[in-house]
Structure 1
């Protein structure tokens, strides 16, 4: 195994972008502290979480004593293979739900040996959790459940984000399962990179360096708009985009054409089954139950984060409640006691948001 031993010092932003390039979701960029100060909060565990991610990529990770934007990450010895492949992205061992979903995915892969698809096509081919949902039905279900809502309650965005989160969860489950299956020697995954050039009729295969160069070019271009690559990718594949982000996406498309002659680029995964032994038969119904169990657990954990608990945005402060209502609309069993507790404090939390927005406007008018 060949390893690089050159020591490199990175800013916090660069360290997060490294984890994104290696498959993490870049959630650090979405924290309230980052959006306000451009740095992570050492008191809420986000820095420790980032360090754990970086340790799956590098042999040695050290953090300087600098505060805020002066903090630096010393990363030594990039690993030939990410050690996180033995675990899930947050560094924990796989749960029983993870193992069950992994076996379901493996059994489905037997029908597609040595096939090559994008991650989205793999999700559809394997028949993971369905996300082609009736958006209008979900919007009506949310309104009916809550009754009278504040005018500013972003129903459309909440439903769109819900569908997006299901998509992201599908990708996360598939990616983590493929990593573990490959580590166990049951499959082989080969990543292949493509770009559609303006001068060619069909997409052309790229090497990884060229693909990474395109991503880096887009990331640097987005810096001029103060937008992260993570936020850009989320908006690009979201059913609902605000005007500002839609305009930025158009500018990125122009940037790719004018500077690289590229209309779009993407990645595909060729998956080869090496060992066809099925360890456990898993029906789709059990897979979906495990998927939802993990999805709800992760939703509860997210709602407990500081940037969600005390957010001025309805979609964050009511994230757990909204998610449970929409799952209920899909005829999925949910923890009713938790939903009831969330609904009991709706008015109280709405008032808190109103007070935050009022104070914010008053502070702005004072200048």
Structure 2
């Protein structure tokens, strides 16, 4: 059977030989930096690529035909619902309204005259001076005029509406984009070319997907009513741009990709998120309590499994196999094999073996790194710079 760490040691021995410092052929201590394993909370994040989507996107079109005579907005400005955006030449619609109002007035006068005739005919019919048919004809004429007037009133209302539609207003609050038509163009009713597009960006949404294997943990928390925090990071994953909450999820898994669509909501008060922008999404579904944490740089991999070098006293290190849980760029959760307070080697591991002599070169700024927090401090002047490794991201085991 192999002893712990033999596989990891064999690779180093083949590369450097036994006569190099730290490999048993010399008593020179290897300079290392160490940090203690700590106990604390570790947030569980699910990462995905997201697309920013406006809460509402409106293509503003004219409802009536005519010449575009004026634009009232500046490209890119914010508008409120009801703000005047553009105007279509209203003259033909003003004429149509006057015609409808004139026809209505004419028929109202005819109705009034017909009603007076009915009153006279009723008196004459009571005196048996006219036939019943004459009275019936007069009453029927009144009813006809009443129906005609309703039609005329509808025509007036339609003409007023068309005239009002010549002044195009913002249907929602938001930010206008670039104009699509210039003043002087003829537009048709409900033309396919919009005058301008308005996007509602406060609040704004980010759509993303998660694989089927992650759904159970996320959906179970979502259905409890908890507001699951969501972070939007830039494409380089170096700067967090906004924080929001999980707002909704789709009702079926995409069979082609095995993923489910989610949507997060961001207030976007500073408008740093733009529609159709790509962002890196981090959904925090849970937080591990009282987890054993070590800097990710301390975790090593060998043929026997995952391990760390633990300081044994002040002068030697021993190799410890362990099991890991979730990790990020700075911290890794240890589920088995390590206790809080044990000091693990961060830098200088490439020259170590089980039982090797070491010299701790930490300065006073060295502190344990928690989730999302980089280890501070630098090696002192005695540190062998060739023994210092840069931190790299490691996968979960």
Pick the TM interval, shorter chain: under 0.3
Higher helix content, 1 or 2 = 1
Higher RCO structure (Cα 8 Å, ≥6 apart): 2
Larger-gyration structure (1/2): 2
TM-score if structure 1 supplies the norm length?
A: 0.19
TM-score if structure 2 supplies the norm length?
A: 0.18
